[in-house]
Amino acid sequence: MSVANGLHHDGLLSPLRRCVTTVGAAIYLLLRPVRVRGEARPLSWRALAISAGIIVAAFLLCMSLVDAAVVRWVGTLPRTVPWLFDQITDYGKSAWFLWPLGILFVLLAGLPQSRLTRFSQLVLAAVMARVGFLFLAIAVPGLFINILKRLVGRARPGVPGVIDPFAFHPFSWSAAYASLPSGHATTVLSVIVAFGSLWPRARTVLWIYALLIMASRIAVTAHFPSDVLAGAVFGTLGAMLVRRYFALRRLVFSIDPNGGLHAWPGPSLKRIKAVARELLAP
């Protein structure tokens, strides 16, 4: 079963019913068993444990030696600097990506695929698979850290009245105690992994965007540097796990014999235009 089949006779269905049917087919694809066996290199738990230890040590050092000093230094900057960063910081919110991607996926799911040739249906399915991957690669780590930060309850810089990197109020649902990890940092790093996996040439621009957003969270004193570091780690790992999940089911990505992940060649703009012409044809 695929997103493209099972929908050949949908001409009489309403857009809503077509959308529900197609989304159901997409969910079926995501929940199907792993289709890659011999090629998939299992995760090395030893390597993961070592990496986790290094990350935790770096985070604790950042908390102890860097956080308070950086926040105090930011307070000495000319007011123009935090103001400039304040103008761009909101562009790191996940909504800038999730709403367009989600709406695009729903619109694509509601298209009358019965008007398309079999090949065009496959092109449309490939586009939808990529949009779905981008959405989940950003949404999954974002959802995780939004729950985690409420459980951790770290105070934002200056919230207790002093700059205290060790001020915590666990299980607090107050925004004032939702500093760790940084949601913006999580978003921008997941964006780098997700979009960069499909369009490697865009990585330079994506990194510039990500670094500006991460710097802005510190410049506007919304986060300590260690919050940004933690968010970057969660965003990177979360998007990579989503990418691996897709690859193991032969969706959007393939896995080579050495365990490397590679994006399948996507539909060209010419193919996409051909699909659009078929849909718009009288």
Domain extent, residue 61, equals 45-280
Note whether residue 128 is domain-resident: yes
Instruction: Please state the domain count of the chain.
Output: 1
> In which band, very low, low, confident or very high, does the pLDDT at 6 lie, cut at 50, 70 and 90?
very low
Beta-bridge mates of residue 253 = 263
Q: What are the tens digits of pLDDT across the range 160-206?
A: 888 999 999 999 889 999 999 999 999 999 999 999 999 999 999 99
Note whether residue 144 is domain-resident: yes
Note whether residue 106 is domain-resident: yes
Note whether residue 27 is domain-resident: no
Residue 12, pLDDT > 50, answer no
Note whether residue 88 is domain-resident: yes
CA atoms of 231 and 187, how far apart (whole Å): 8
Q: What are the tens digits of pLDDT across the range 111-121?
A: 888 888 899 98
CA atoms of 21 and 227, how far apart (whole Å): 41
Q: What does the radius of gyration of the chain's CA atoms come to, in whole angstroms?
A: 22
Q: What are the tens digits of pLDDT across the range 72-115?
A: 999 999 999 999 999 999 999 999 999 999 999 999 998 888 88
- The number of helix segments (H) and strand segments (E) in the chain equals 10, 2
In 3-state terms the chain splits into helix, strand, coil percentages (rounded to 5) of 65, 5, 30
With a CB cutoff of 8 Å and minimum separation 6, the contacts of 73 are: none
The amino acid at 94: S
Q: What are the tens digits of pLDDT across the range 223-267?
A: 999 999 999 999 999 999 999 999 999 999 988 877 788 999 989
Query: Could you tell me which of 194, 191, 163 has the C-alpha nearest to residue 179?
Result: 163
Cβ-based burial of 173 (10 A; exposed 0-12, middle 13-18, buried ≥19): exposed
> In which band, very low, low, confident or very high, does the pLDDT at 213 lie, cut at 50, 70 and 90?
very high
Tell me if the bond preceding 181 is cis, omega within 30° of 0.
yes
Note whether residue 182 is domain-resident: yes
CA atoms of 191 and 137, how far apart (whole Å): 8
The model's pTM: 0.90
Residue 216, pLDDT > 90, answer yes
Note whether residue 20 is domain-resident: no
Q: Cα 99 from chain centroid?
A: 12
Residue 38, pLDDT > 60, answer no
